[in-house]
Amino acid sequence: MNTPTRTPAPDASPRPAMAAADAPESRSHHLLAFTVGCLVFAIVLGYLAYQMLGFPATVTTDNAYVQGNVIQITPQIAGTVVAVRADDTDFVRAGQPLARLDPSDSRVALDQAESALAQTVREVRTLYANNAVLGAQISLRQADVARLESEVARARRDAARREALVQDGAVGTEELEHANAQLVSAHSSLESNRAAARAAQAQLAANQSLTDRTTVERHPNVLRASARVREAYLALRRAEILAPVTGFVARRSVQVGQRVQAGAGLMTVVPLDGIWVDANFKEAQLRNLRIGQVATLVTDIYGNAVRYHGKVAGLGAGTGAAFALLPAQNATGNWIKVVQRVPVRILLDPREVTAHPLRIGLSVEVSVETGSADGPRLGDAGPPTATVTNVFDGEDPAADDAVRRIIADNLPGNGGAAAARKSSTGYSSTVNAGLHGSQVHRVALRAGH
């Protein structure tokens, strides 16, 4: 008898086991979704708080570099370099000698200028002395005119008497003709001396026009020669090339024995106490950028350990591409839009720069807080900022002393300049009236001031 085979019923125990295995995975998914949701909620909440509470916005760029004044050292005269007294990386102060040119040519030019001044003083003294000489000549001509006037009058009287005697037959015609000839000769001599007197007067007036209302020291010819002496002294002083400002020497190219021309570059001096940062921001970053906004700067040389603080001093007048050596040609068929950048100047805190010096050209990362947009976009009209030097100010007192000495040495020994001033008064002459007929008006001389 066959016994039926019983098939065992399937065990339901694995299903609860699988459900128990899926439970942790489901919980992890829920936890991840909850975390993401919280994160999104936090971001949205932070953004709303940022907008509502007005936390400062910032614009950042790493396209920024340290800039400063690079002062070119150039000679003011041509010459041969005989000494170089500064090299790259040297610290120099304003007025310190950097190089020296051969002063031989300048000394020769100075000697020539001094000799020319001495000669000019003596020539001007001659002009003043000629006033007295010409005045004496006029006096002499006056005396001749007065004498010839009397001779003409006497000859006229003699001729008149003889003419009356000829009518009576007491005197011959020949004697009358002789008297008339003497009258004509005397009258000719009188006119000749009158002309000589007028010529002497004109010559005196011409000479006085060169000496009126001035002294030997202040005469234009002497002043011109004095200026040439000062110019020669200045050229001699410029043989010593001085540092215009305090700073560090860089890019020295001059060598001893080199012949340099005026204006040729010898080296540069960089004052590191007046540097700034040029940050090149994109166009879109300039929307809320204003002058006076606070900036934070980090340099690659010091890293995040040192942070500089500054303020926006101004925005560039154009993009970098607009002022490039070869500006872009945008009116072409293959034009491609490129985001432009505008340089923004940021002034640094001088105390921070002194504590942590920077060099020109270093890379900087700049962050500007643009939350306050009350400042101007463009700088107000005001005095331009520039580097000023007093090294070349003032005249050389040695040149003035030399000019005074040369003038004094070539003035008259007795009285010196006082005698020259006295002689400078000269003479002035006037004609009281024209000369009419036989009547002659004397030429009067008087001392003019």
Same domain, 167 and 127: yes
Bridge partners (DSSP) of residue 269 are 71, 249
Q: What is the pLDDT of residue 64?
A: 96
Range(s) of the domain holding residue 91: 72-101+235-267
Same domain, 96 and 110: no
pTM: 0.66
169: region left, alpha or beta (phi > 0 left; psi from -120 to 50 alpha)? left
Per the domain annotation, does 333 fall within a domain?
Answer: no
Per the domain annotation, does 203 fall within a domain?
Answer: yes
Same domain, 259 and 166: no
Per the domain annotation, does 297 fall within a domain?
Answer: no
Name the token pair of 237: 């002083």
Same domain, 159 and 174: yes
Phi first, then psi, for residue 299 (nearest 5°) are: -105, 155
Q: What is the pLDDT of residue 442?
A: 33
Query: Measured between alpha carbons, how far is 234 from 226 in angstroms, rounded to an integer?
Result: 12
Same domain, 87 and 171: no
Q: What is the pLDDT of residue 393?
A: 78
Q: Looking at residue 79, which CATH number applies to its domain?
A: 2.40.50.100
DSSP string, 319-337: -TTTTSSS----SSTT---
Per the domain annotation, does 417 fall within a domain?
Answer: yes
Place of tokens 């001059």: 254
Same domain, 121 and 202: yes
Same domain, 141 and 188: yes
Per the domain annotation, does 161 fall within a domain?
Answer: yes
Same domain, 212 and 243: no
Residue 338: CA atoms inside 13 Å, Cβ hemisphere, count? 14
How many distinct structural domains can be found in the chain?
A: 2
251-259, Cβ contacts within 8 angstroms, sequence gap of 24 or more: 251/88, 252/84, 252/86, 252/87, 252/88, 254/81, 254/84, 254/99, 255/81, 255/84, 256/81, 256/82, 256/83, 256/84, 257/80, 257/81, 257/82, 258/80, 258/81, 259/78, 259/79, 259/80, 259/81
Per the domain annotation, does 258 fall within a domain?
Answer: yes
Per the domain annotation, does 13 fall within a domain?
Answer: no
Same domain, 170 and 97: no
Per the domain annotation, does 137 fall within a domain?
Answer: yes
Contact 228, 211 (CB under 8 A): no
Digitized pLDDT (tens) for each residue of the chain, 449 residues in all: 444 545 454 444 445 544 455 556 666 777 777 788 888 888 887 766 665 555 558 899 999 999 999 999 999 999 999 999 999 999 999 999 999 999 999 999 999 999 999 999 999 988 888 888 878 778 887 787 777 777 777 777 766 766 666 666 666 666 666 767 777 777 777 777 778 778 878 877 877 777 888 888 899 999 999 999 999 999 999 999 999 999 999 999 999 999 999 999 999 999 998 899 999 999 989 988 999 999 999 999 999 999 999 999 999 888 888 888 888 777 777 778 888 999 999 999 999 999 999 999 999 999 999 887 777 877 665 555 557 888 887 667 888 898 999 999 998 863 444 443 443 333 333 333 333 333 333 333 333 33
Same domain, 86 and 183: no
Query: Measured between alpha carbons, how far is 311 from 341 in angstroms, rounded to an integer?
Result: 19
Query: Measured between alpha carbons, how far is 447 from 137 in angstroms, rounded to an integer?
Result: 15
Same domain, 186 and 209: yes
Instruction: Supply angle C-alpha 32, 38, 44, rounded to 5.
Output: 140
Same domain, 170 and 187: yes
Answer with the one of 267, 286, 307 that is the final residue of a domain.
267
Contact 147, 123 (CB under 8 A): no
Letter for the amino acid at 165? L
